[in-house]
A and B are shown apart, each in its own frame.
Chain A
């Protein structure tokens, strides 16, 4: 079956611009996670959704970052007034959700470069 997909695969933008990154989770997965990974580092937690609601957004670095999941499926990570330090690979993962630890399935990521 189809895995987690993310678009675009690469995004180059200029400092100060607005970007949107999209994640399509595996069908039927109620939990969705966003992570950010810089070179040589592990994925850094940003936010996770259970259904439509953000269950924990404590990893969002500041108010320039926002994520939505209006229908409990596709999610969009939005970054306003991008800065060079936002350059990283943004990973999305989904899992069955509910109670208990379920395997997270990751998408291939979006590589964001802020010039």
Chain B
């Protein structure tokens, strides 16, 4: 079992739709959580950090459930430009800045 697991997709959704991705992590000592976005054949870029209280950035909402060890990302009013792979990232634990990436979930927003 991978330490950070994501459904690889692809998720094909029409423009304007709301789509949600989940990610589970196995190490209960994990400290910090993030979503990165990676466009095809490009480098990953930070989308947002994920806080215990949940956080929102425009059309994007991230949630963390420590008890169940999962992280979610909700995208509202999908745009064509949201088409990308979304990577769930977890910092393994205190005393290290080792970041573990999930496989990524591929999103295609269709016109």
Docked CA distance A67–B43 (Å): 21
CB B86 to nearest CB in A, in angstroms, measures 10
Partner among A44, A58, A59, A91 whose Cβ is within 8 Å of the Cβ of B43: A91
Q: Do A56 and B96 have beta carbons less than 8 Å apart?
A: yes
A104 at the A/B interface (Cβ < 8 Å)?
yes
Taking each of A33, A41, A43, A50, which has the highest tally of chain B beta carbons within 10 Å of its own beta carbon?
A: A43
Question: Chain A interface: which size bin?
Answer: 20 to 34
CB B43 to nearest CB in A, in angstroms, measures 4
Q: Which of B80-110 contact A (CB under 8 A)?
A: 87, 91, 96-104
Partner among A45, A91, A103 whose Cβ is within 8 Å of the Cβ of B46: A103
B1 at the A/B interface (Cβ < 8 Å)?
no
Partner among A31, A41, A43, A56 whose Cβ is within 8 Å of the Cβ of B44: A43
A51 at the A/B interface (Cβ < 8 Å)?
no
Docked CA distance A40–B43 (Å): 14
A-B complex: 7 closest residue pairs judged by Cβ atoms = A42-B101, A106-B43, A101-B32, A43-B101, A103-B46, A42-B103, A56-B98
